[in-house]
Amino acid sequence: MSASGARTLAVVEATRFRGHDPEYHAYVQLLVGNVIAEARDQGWAVTRLAADEGEEALLQRTDGSDALVVVGGEDIDPAYYGAAGGYAHESRHLAVADAAQLALARRAVERRTPLLGICRGLQIVNVALGGTLVQDLGEHSPHVNRGVPIPEVLTTHPVLLEPGSRVSELLGSGIVDVRSAHHQAVAALGAGLVVTGRAPDGHVEAVEHVDAPVLAVQWHPEDVAAPAGQLTALLGALRSGVAVAA
């Protein structure tokens, strides 16, 4: 808790610097900014952190955080889930940031720190707990638009939520439309996780931990075109010890 008495939320991204791709960098700033703005509206004292500062720095700077959000970004280095590079649509890898976020997710589960994962954040949670990833969903995947400007890569598709799951209760429906831009997905599920949402093609879109307040979604509730209220509900869950990842 901060000196002012407000609960503290760490919003953790892979890196703050993407000078090689200004268009992508600008869009990430918009998405992360939306998360921060909504969190502040909900009364959180927000700290924005970059994981590429390294594991020791990230764990130290989040040691007293009341809750965590791990946001989207680059592909996780496949070495962390026992696979090789060279797959289709492979992004650059930020191994230092990966190691730091994986350690942070494991500590959150151990300490029962509320955590919400968004897109890459879901994959971080899964890999941190021993899971693996489908490295590419194919050229014509409905989960991302290809060959378009960066602001148009997100697509809309439905997700079927498990009845009685936290995410279903939070969003108030068994089927929700989501904004999505991912070319990877959960393969083997990490220890302690359960699947609570799937796309119509069967790919995992939401996971929750069986007893830690960790929930992750593979989509982007913070996108400007996301259905109204999704980000509010998912961030709001952190206040009661229910967490989400995407």
The residues that are catalytic are 119, 220, 222
**Which of 233, 232, 208, 229 has its CA nearest to residue 218?**
208
- Return d(Cα 58, Cα 74) in angstroms, integer: 18
CB-based burial of residue 243 (10 Å sphere; 0-12 exposed, 13-18 middle, 19+ buried)? Answer: buried
Question: What residues contact residue 29 under an 8 Å CB cut-off, 6+ apart?
Answer: none
Structure tokens at 83: 């696979």
Q: Which two tokens stand for residue 39?
A: 């969190």
8-13/45-50 β-pairing: parallel
Structural tokens at position 244: 């989400």
